[in-house]
Structure 1
Amino acid sequence: MSAPPILLIEDTPSLQLVYDAIIRGAGHKVTCADTADNGLAAFKREKPRVVVLDLMLPDRDGLDLMRECLELAPEARFVVITANGSINRAVEAMRVGAYEFLVKPFDEGRFLAAIDNALRDQARPTGETPEVLSDFRGFIGSSEAMQDVYRRIQSVSRSMATVFITGESGTGKEVCAQAVHDSSTRAEKPFVPLNCGAIPSDLLESEVFGHLRGSFTGAIADKIGAAAAADGGTLFLDEICEMDLNLQTKLLRFLQTSTIQPVGATRARKVNARIICATNRNPLEEVRKGRFREDLYYRLQVVPIHLPPLRERGDDVISIARHAVQTFSNEEGRSFKGLSPEVEQLFRTLPWPGNVRQVINVMRNVVVLNDGPMVTQTMLPLEILHHHEAMTSGEDPLAANSPNKPVVSLDGLVGRTMAEIERMVIEETIARHGGSVPKAARVLDLSPSTIYRKRESWMKDAAE
């Protein structure tokens, strides 16, 4: 039985001819329609697996047509076409259920790749019980919340759509971005991460777009920016809400035109990089407060992925802790085999404000300073036991924002070096501000980059 044709709904005759020729040239059958009514009739008659739909139709809104078609056949895949000026409509289309969107003008390869990806996705078996994954491209955990994340990553990785990852600090946003890249057709190309909050604002433009020698004081040589370095691959912009408003304008232009202009350059150049961004803030709140451009938000927020905090992932904390203990035990030549039942029970009750990163740091601390075979409560860092004692006494360890209240008890500080106390104060302040390094930096009167450097040095010291 032959496959149904691809349905092309495009009201401009010249574009319909071009799209039809490209699709047929790739070996597919095509049925064309020039209005929403004709398209709906063809959809009911041909039952296509894939529909190429221009959102601007003369007799009806393209989104309404897509909604009606998906109610009739939810398994159909829609590749929507839009002009630059209606990018927000394309974002809305993705939320309604479109598989992919293309912004005019686009090249033939991009067009056929979107159709081929949609065909492959639609051909996947349906009605099967999804496989429960406990280890997925750097993630550990089998909770239902994470199964949804894994499925979203697998689905979006085949697309070129921009991905916006949200979640508290320490939930694994860079791991998620890397997983999207590694699952995509760009896996063999560069994955370039850039932390927008760790770079001074006056240097960020150069880091993203590059610069030419002599373009500013200190530019002693040409520098290729992160966007150009990611050509053919993926550019990951972490803590995107920390980006300066002026640079947000240039990023928006890059997203719309796929061109960059290094600082000091007179001509722009094309770059083919997929954009993935992340933030631990509420981006809509940042838009309302005027710190993040609304048009950039809607351009980036095409496929959102929200990473749940560890406290909402059930027994995943135990799986993560066990995996970390085994990994670090092998690295350090220790004999740990697992966690004691008391430690597992304690871990289930803790709020873990630092999320997965905090669990990993605690396990590294335990393995470096102790030996097995089991992790016991006496091996845990004092700040973990402090959290537990505060909870059992009825005190909320994450509340207490009063400036008159000490971050930790004095008993927990006496006998420690100043370096240890500094680390405890910084980490506790970050935890009390929802894992936000920038917020903690403002409270401590430090720059975010200083805190990032300190945390990196602590990780390196623990690994040595």
Structure 2
Amino acid sequence: MTPKVLLVEDSSSLAVLYKQFLKDEPYDLLHAATGAEAKRLLERTLPSLIILDLQLPDMTGEDILEWMSSKNLHVPVIVATAHGSVDTAVTLIQKGAKDFLEKPIRADRLKTSVGIHLKQAHLENMLDDIQQQMDRQRFHDFIGGSIPMQGVYKIIDAVADTNASVFIIGESGTGKEVCANAIHQESERRDKPFIAINCGAIPKDLMESEVFGHVRGAFTGATTDRQGAASLANGGTLFLDELCEMDLEMQKKLLRFLQTSTFTPLGATKEHSVDVRIICATNRDPLKEVKEGRFREDLYYRVHVVPIQMPPLRERGQDIITLADHFLRIYAKQDKRRFETISKDAQRYLKRYDWPGNVRQLQNVIRNIVVLNDDKSLGVNHLPPEIVQVTSSSIKAIRQSSLTDLATAKTQQLEPEPPSSIVSELPTSQPGSVTDNTSVEIRPMWQVERETIQQAIDYCDGNVLNAAVLLELSPSTVYRKKQAWEAEDSAS
């Protein structure tokens, strides 16, 4: 879209001159001779930039700036002023104007100023759009604003209005069907059907009938004609979940349907033609399935036009708490329980658990807690054992890692104190030797990890890179964990 520049200038001769200066520039120049006319134009259309004369026959340029501020019209303004009103122009810049041009205005100065501020406005709009997208905490039925999910939202935005095939890949419980439905709702097909089929839940003998339908008498028990999912989804979207579970023979028939948009119901002789957008999904590695002969290579390349990788819950950071809080409030209201909040300690455990079952597992855990308890706050005592359990082998591994770090530090002629956060005591039989001791204070893993990393950072005088080397961790991992703890502390 061509940018529009509004020139507010009461002198017709100067307006003609400025138009001549800018006639070859890549934007449209609008003209208003009075303040009232400028206001009317601004109420109808919002330009990318305004060149504003300070002295107008019906009001001052300052009046227009104040009116724009009252209307929340955020458009960059270049003030045009005579020599005697330069001080006024400077004052207006302090109030938000972007620049001032002293009359008589030279052509090169006018072109340069307009060009610079149009580019700046374009960049600011781009940043606002990006920030708005990054601020999305909800998107259709998705909940969460983490960076991995923002990437998913961006792909959905880009692909929704096309007819390209989409292949959604992700672990069970990551929201593949939610993603498919979001694509449908964002597309022009939103008013047409969204039909979902789980290929892993339908016996292979029934799959063709489920997808393409059948006519009466096609097989034993087919007492009437039946429409399949392809017909039901006509004009809309057909979502084939767990596609890699589909039988190879059926994959061949599906490939032909994708290529021609035609199919023949079981037992029929006449082809049917439909307009359907195909979205597929799998929780397997499709390339591995192709390599091992369970998934047709030609079908893979036909459906793998736009891949979307759904992030597992363990990689979504604060989204875990956002989702847990959402489920807590829903089920508390549904089951008439008092739960309102999740304690900080419980949040830490929830964020540090791996969630092999992803969002579906988190939902079931919260559901179970609400059914069996009735408190105002969800605490650590409510969490199931697999989330809060710290095994003795984990403690032993941490302890051994700490001792190794200490030995490494000593070889570099450093003399750190043994981290008290890891073991309650390290008894020695002789000076310089450490013997095994089963008297270990078992503490939550997140506390051990945090204190050990913080001690390493303090020992290195705040140098995270050196601390990461001592801990044998990636510097990015240490930075990420440190930022997460600081965010938690500031929210407390």
Sort the TM-score into its range (normalised by shorter chain).
0.5 to 0.7
Counterpart residue number, 2:241: 238
Change (3 A) 1:130 1:239: same
In the alignment, which of 222, 226, 229 is matched to residue 226 of structure 1? 229
Counterparts of 1:253 and 1:345 in 2: how far apart (Å)? 50
Whether the 8 Å CA contact 2:144–2:322 is kept in 1: the answer is yes
Shift of 1:378: 2.1
Does 1:321 pair with 2:298?
no
Counterparts of 1:148 and 1:391 in 2: how far apart (Å)? 37
Whether the 8 Å CA contact 1:165–1:305 is kept in 2: the answer is yes
Whether the 8 Å CA contact 1:365–1:381 is kept in 2: the answer is no
Counterpart residue number, 1:24: none
Counterpart residue number, 1:247: 250
Shift of 1:382: 3.9
Does 1:355 pair with 2:397?
no
* SS of residue paired to 1:165: strand
Counterparts of 2:144 and 2:161 in 1: how far apart (Å)? 23
In the alignment, which of 197, 208, 211 is matched to residue 208 of structure 1? 211
In the alignment, which of 268, 275, 282 is matched to residue 272 of structure 1? 275
| Superposed counterparts of 1:15-26, under 5 Å | none
Shift of 1:311: 1.1
Does 1:136 pair with 2:139?
yes
- Superposed CA deviations along residues 342-387 of structure 1, whole A, max 9, x for unmatched, are 110101111110111110110111111111211122222344345x
* SS of residue paired to 1:130: helix
Counterpart residue number, 1:414: none
Which stretches in structure 1 are left out of the alignment for 5+ residues?
4-46, 48-124, 396-464
Counterparts of 1:127 and 1:134 in 2: how far apart (Å)? 18
Whether the 8 Å CA contact 2:349–2:387 is kept in 1: the answer is no
Counterpart residue number, 2:430: none
Counterparts of 1:2 and 1:375 in 2: how far apart (Å)? 55
| Superposed counterparts of 1:8-407, under 5 Å | 126-128=126-128, 129-131=130-132, 132-386=135-389, 388-389=390-391, 392-393=394-395
Which of the pair has more CA radius of gyration?
A: 2
* SS of residue paired to 2:281: strand
Change (3 A) 1:166 1:312: same
Percent identity of paired positions between Structure 1 and Structure 2: 54
CA RMSD of aligned residues (A): 2.1
Change (3 A) 1:265 1:393: farther
Shift of 1:283: 0.4
Counterparts of 1:391 and 1:210 in 2: how far apart (Å)? 56
Letter in 1 for 2:131: P
Letter in 2 for 1:275: I
- Superposed CA deviations along residues 89-141 of structure 1, whole A, max 9, x for unmatched, are xxxxxxxxxxxxxxxxxxxxxxxxxxxxxxxxxxxx64543312111111111
Change (3 A) 1:221 1:317: same
Letter in 2 for 1:277: C
- Superposed CA deviations along residues 24-68 of structure 1, whole A, max 9, x for unmatched, are xxxxxxxxxxxxxxxxxxxxxxx9xxxxxxxxxxxxxxxxxxxxx
How many residues get paired?
275
Change (3 A) 1:148 1:394: farther
Counterparts of 1:214 and 1:263 in 2: how far apart (Å)? 9
Letter in 2 for 1:130: Q
Letter in 1 for 2:143: I
Shift of 1:217: 1.3
Letter in 1 for 2:347: E
Report the TM-score when normalising by structure 1.
0.57
Counterpart residue number, 1:65: none
Report the TM-score when normalising by structure 2.
0.54
Counterparts of 1:307 and 1:2 in 2: how far apart (Å)? 37
* SS of residue paired to 2:266: coil
Which stretches in structure 2 are left out of the alignment for 5+ residues?
4-25, 27-124, 398-492
Greater relative CO (CA pairs within 8 A, separation 6+): 1
Change (3 A) 1:196 1:394: farther
Counterparts of 1:375 and 1:390 in 2: how far apart (Å)? 26
- Superposed CA deviations along residues 257-279 of structure 1, whole A, max 9, x for unmatched, are 11121110101111111100100
Shift of 1:253: 0.6
